[in-house]
Chains A and B, each alone.
Chain A
């Protein structure tokens, strides 16, 4: 009986104490745009040095290039575990790492390898990922990009786009004999392949939705024509060589049509839709101004385009059904051109003129149409979204040379791409 009373008294006392504690809620309204510190520990690899491929280095470079991660320098790694069991979490925490990736590359016999890796959260010791990928020697690069994709997606909740490709135009030589090349490379700039070469200008590469073909403009007959080239076979098809202008091909989302810019005899540029199967041509705009640079909406029912019918170039949207009137979208500034739609249609990227320079800007399509200028250069043009919508690749000029650069869709991060020789322009990011 005594014991019971003392129990109750203790409980009563405890309740009494808990309720006298102050009620404390701290509101957090800001954060940092810092890169997340992550350690990609060199993977263990077989002794035969020729077979080993530095998976960790590629993953580390990919994540760092996205601007959202800060990869720990190898010289600062106090230990190099290859499995979760070997990680001394407190040590890594003390060196301010939030995440760690460990792994191994093991030979699987004749020219085949197994990449095993794990991702851990150092702060709560939680294992987030554990995967095994097998690849042959030439496929190790792609497999490493896929590792980077998985780590990226696990931590940021956005699908990674490291294992994708980009197309761009490279111009070599000097006037009057220039060499124009259409190149397809990995998203990190490595592995460039020349897909088409010409002594006359090449322009406007555009990926088909299935990533198998490229449409582009070629002046190879000293007249512009639109070609569609199948990458695997190299087979080319000339799809539009009408008198006058044939420019700015844009694939419909179902891959069956191309929106194009054609001109009348009097040089009036307008937008048309060409059905690739039936060759039927439908006129979309009919205006004395320059109407060009068409882009499809995801449902294939509308086209975004540039038009200077109001004086200077601005961005408009029109339905592909006949009789639809175009609606103007940009009202800030006197030059807004080359619209590109983000993959989820939440945003429109375009080129805007500001302070005498040309910059990449985005317009929020879901809210009030807020415009944000993302870059600060003088010649930032030709934006193209990554298929995950997180980044935009564009063409810029650096000390008189044409280069390719990246900016995150929210403008927080800017990166320069490894540039190969020549003037680089008009990048187009392939779909997934």
Chain B
């Protein structure tokens, strides 16, 4: 009981610290999605339409039937020591954002990773930072906070072995994992 209370306190504190604007964003986006609001209307409609067609063969886990579309790609790669989402991954973010917003029941885990360089614990922090960057990007596009969790594996679960840039580039990533 005590622990839940403590966690709740923390989360409240965190919410306060994270600043109100974000909260507003979270509230706004579903509205933007559900309301018809002037200039965006057309876009939204077409966006949702696209999302729907993309979801035609969707299973409960959110996997798109479109094997070559952005929804099939679930990994976003990053530059060294950076957590900004590069432009070439914007469409993946958007695709999954639409998928999640149109399936409020879907949940996604964002797994942050780094390459092996540096200290392990600090890399946990960097991995978390990347996962958070994707989380914010998704939330900015209307995904509910409750649908997303982040976890950082730091350098502990590399995708590729090797002590060179080829391997490292493949390890600096966030994986989008559907599921509870």
Point out residues on A near B: beta carbons under 8 Å. 174-175, 201, 203-204, 219, 222-224, 242-245, 247-248, 261, 263-269, 279, 281, 290, 292-293, 306, 308, 313, 335, 337-338, 351, 353, 358, 378-379, 381-382, 397, 400, 425-426
Contact = CB atoms under 8 A, between A and B. Distances in A.
A279 B2 contact: yes
Given A247-B124, A248-B124, A378-B163, 20 more contacts: A201-B153, A201-B157, A203-B154, A203-B156, A223-B151, A224-B152, A244-B128, A245-B128, A247-B121, A264-B10, A264-B11, A264-B13, A290-B125, A290-B129, A292-B125, A293-B119, A337-B122, A351-B118, A351-B119, A379-B163
A261 B121 contact: yes
Interface stretch (B14-22, B31-39, B92-100): B14-22
A397 B116 CA distance: 11
B66 interface: no
Contacts of A426: 120
A382 B150 CA distance: 26
B14 A381 contact: no
6 contacts: A203-B121, A245-B152, A265-B14, A267-B129, A292-B125, A338-B121
A264 B14 contact: yes
Contact of B119 (A201, A269, A381): A381
Contact of B6 (A204, A219, A281): A281
A272 to B, nearest CB: 9
B117 A267 contact: no
B96 to A, nearest CB: 18
A175 B159 contact: yes
Interface string B117-147: 1111110111011011001000000000100
B11 A265 contact: yes
B128 A269 contact: yes
A263 B121 CA distance: 13
Contacts of A378: 163
B121 A293 contact: yes
Nearest to A178: B157
Contacts of A313: 118-119, 122
B30 interface: no
B84 interface: no
A267 B3 CA distance: 19
Nearest to B126: A290
Interface size bracket, B side: 35 or more
Nearest to B12: A265
B79 interface: no
A101 to B, nearest CB: 41
A378 B55 CA distance: 47
Contacts of B121: 203-204, 247-248, 261, 292-293, 306, 338
Given A266-B132, A268-B14, A400-B163, A244 B150 contact: yes
Nearest to A400: B163
A337 B129 contact: no
Contact of B14 (A203, A248, A266, A425): A266
Interface in B145-177: 145, 149-154, 156-163
Contacts of B162: 400
B7 interface: yes
Contacts of A379: 116-117, 163
Contact of B118 (A223, A268, A358): A358
A279 B14 contact: no
Contacts of B156: 201, 203, 219
A263 B120 contact: no
Nearest to B6: A281
Contacts of A263: 128
Name the residue among A265, A306, A338 with the largest chain B CB count within 10 angstroms: A265
A271 B132 CA distance: 19
Name the residue among B122, B129, B153 with the largest chain A CB count within 10 angstroms: B122
B7 A243 contact: yes
A174 B118 contact: no
A248 B125 CA distance: 11
A267 B6 contact: no
A248 B121 CA distance: 7
A267 B150 contact: yes
Contacts of B135: 267
A308 B157 CA distance: 23
Nearest to A281: B6
Those 4 A-B pairs whose CB atoms lie nearest each other, nearest first: A290-B125, A267-B132, A264-B14, A201-B156
Contacts of B145: 265
Contacts of B10: 242, 264
A387 to B, nearest CB: 22
Contact of B122 (A242, A268, A281, A338): A338
A336 to B, nearest CB: 10
Contacts of A201: 153, 156-157
A358 B117 contact: yes
Given A263-B128, A266-B132, A293 B158 contact: no
B146 to A, nearest CB: 11
Name the residue among A263, A335, A400 with the largest chain B CB count within 10 angstroms: A263
Contacts of A335: 118
A382 B18 contact: no
B111 to A, nearest CB: 9
Nearest to A222: B151
Contacts of A266: 14, 17-18, 132
B132 A292 contact: no
Contacts of A204: 120-121
Contacts of B17: 264, 266, 268
